[in-house]
Amino acid sequence: MKVDIVTIFPEIAAGPLGVSIIGRAVEAGQVAIRCVDLRDYTTDRHRHVDDMPYGGGPGMVMKPEPFFAAVADLRTEGAKVILMTPQGKPFRQARAVELAKESHLIFLCGHYEGVDHRVVEALVDEELSIGDYVLTNGTIAAAVVVDAVVRLLPGVLGDDQSAEVESFSGDGRRLEAPHYTRPAEYAGMAVPEVLLSGNHGAIAKWRESQALERTRRNRPDLLCDAKAKSISDDWIPDEAFA
């Protein structure tokens, strides 16, 4: 997979994507990530990327020309162009799974009040938001999406870090159960007895009920979503929807 992140702050994305699992995936050639400076596509002496909004209002708007020049330069056949913006569709695990099947992703990162809408109309396949809050710019958001997508590429996670059994994978309706490791007792807190029992049936049951309890406490919306979608599955007891 090829990934281009077009931004006025390439170093923001390069940092987190250059280390750990994603950094190793880059080194191994499983993904090629380029953090591209939008200002390299300006033509004026001061390398301006923004201007005042038509119609007035606070803040600056990012000019269309550098984005058009960048995409014209970077685009390959079948590339998907994604604008990171709080106005985008919510990014979820299911989307990460789909994006991991693409061959080339180009992320456009906004800053200031937003991006000239002609960029959205003519260049962008998809607008994505990573959550209902406003960041100073879309570069951190792009790094989040790239991390979530690249870790799903074949061979990027080792067998012991499988992406299969984790929150939001599969049906996306429940969080993971709590995890423990040694020591069995720490600061007066004991690991739940059942996890030491070797009884795999009992452990699976315990994990299921803990996952449900955690979901109910932290993300009741997931359970409501499931009900709203009328997904018929018998593992969620009716009282979960009370």
In the complex, residue closest to ligand ADE by CB: 141
- Residue among 42 and 85 whose Cβ is closer to ligand ADE: 85
Closest CA to 83 of 8, 29, 6, 1: 6
d(CA 2, CA 103): 6
Minimum distance from residue 113 beta carbon to ligand ADE (Å): 11
- Residue among 64 and 138 whose Cβ is closer to ligand ADE: 138
- Residue among 35 and 226 whose Cβ is closer to ligand ADE: 35
- Residue among 89 and 205 whose Cβ is closer to ligand ADE: 89
Residue whose structure tokens are 């007066």: 188
Minimum distance from residue 145 beta carbon to ligand ADE (Å): 8
Angle between helices 200-218 and 220-228 (to 10 degrees): 90
d(CA 168, CA 225): 13
- Residue among 10 and 110 whose Cβ is closer to ligand ADE: 110
Are 131 and 79 spatial neighbours (Cβ–Cβ below 8 Å)? no
Minimum distance from residue 180 beta carbon to ligand ADE (Å): 33
Pairing of the two strands 61-62 and 50-51: antiparallel
- Residue among 107 and 168 whose Cβ is closer to ligand ADE: 107
Minimum distance from residue 147 beta carbon to ligand ADE (Å): 14
d(CA 77, CA 98): 18
Minimum distance from residue 66 beta carbon to ligand ADE (Å): 17
d(CA 162, CA 160): 6
Cis-peptide into 53, omega within 30 deg: no
Minimum distance from residue 88 beta carbon to ligand ADE (Å): 6
Residues 6+ apart with CB under 8 A from 102: 1, 78, 80
d(CA 24, CA 71): 27
d(CA 99, CA 95): 6
Binding stretches for ligand ADE (CB under 6 A): 84-86, 88, 110, 129-131, 133-135, 138, 141
The terminus-to-terminus CA distance of the chain in angstroms comes to 44
Minimum distance from residue 120 beta carbon to ligand ADE (Å): 13
- Residue among 62 and 84 whose Cβ is closer to ligand ADE: 84
